[in-house]
Amino acid sequence: MAAWKIEGEYMETCNCAFICPCIGTNMEAVPSEGECKAAFAMRIDKGHMGDVPLDGVSFIVLLHSPGAMAEGNMKVGLIVDEKATDQQVEAIGQIASGAAGGPMAVLAPLVGEFAGVDRRPIVFEMDGMTRAVKAGDLIDQAIVGIPSLAEDGAPIYLDNTAHPANSKLALAKATRSHFDAFGITWDASGATPRNGHFAPFAWAA
């Protein structure tokens, strides 16, 4: 397997009520809705796998866990920006599945079903503490960070986590959260605030 390295920006929403119990229990808690549906969106600003450049490629890992994530049996699908070449899609598939090593390899034993790869135009937007990602008609999610009173203009962070994106995650609430892909559907509604996170990421293997 060729050596690889990617870095950029990550954001996610999930169906858990704010604050998601999974992070604080090392994935051992039952999600607040009894099951977890989450979309990890990654924008690669700089990266490569071997001689395949990955600069500017975005992808989304959509997952469903029927109970506590640590118990496994998760269903996972991958959405890659439609601008990516076949070589880039193959490289992202190896990275996102954990087959090429790196942080996602830790989650790989918990995946019971890989639902496939889809391609859509992915738009990843950032403005201060807001993040928004849209992938065609499959994903539409947006978050706003929770401001810290200890540091003006900065969010509250969770640190030293086991999350694959980054051990330090900004706390955020979802302002939109819609999934409809690979048989995983979710649409935030009602008064319950839903969970979100964002962070820079840097992966390599």
pLDDT digits (tens, 9 = 90+) for 42-94: 999 999 999 999 999 999 999 999 999 999 999 999 999 999 999 999 999 99
Residues 6+ apart with CB under 8 A from 34: 67
| Tokens 């990421």 sit on residue | 201
Cis amide prior to 19 (ω within 30 degrees): yes
- Which among 109, 94, 104, 80 is positioned nearest to 50, based on CA atoms? 94
- pLDDT value for 35: 97
d(CA 151, CA 120) in angstroms, rounded, equals 38
pTM above 0.95, yes or no: yes
* pLDDT the model gives residue 190: 80
CATH of domain 4-204: 2.40.400
Q: How far is CA 112 from CA 26, 27, 38, 39, 78, in A?
A: 19, 16, 16, 17, 14
Which residue in the block uniquely carries the two structure tokens 């989650």? 107
Structure confidence by residue, pLDDT tens digits, 84-141: 999 999 999 999 999 999 999 999 999 999 999 999 999 999 999 999 999 999 999 9
Q: Judge whether 48 and 17 are in contact, CB under 8 Å.
A: no
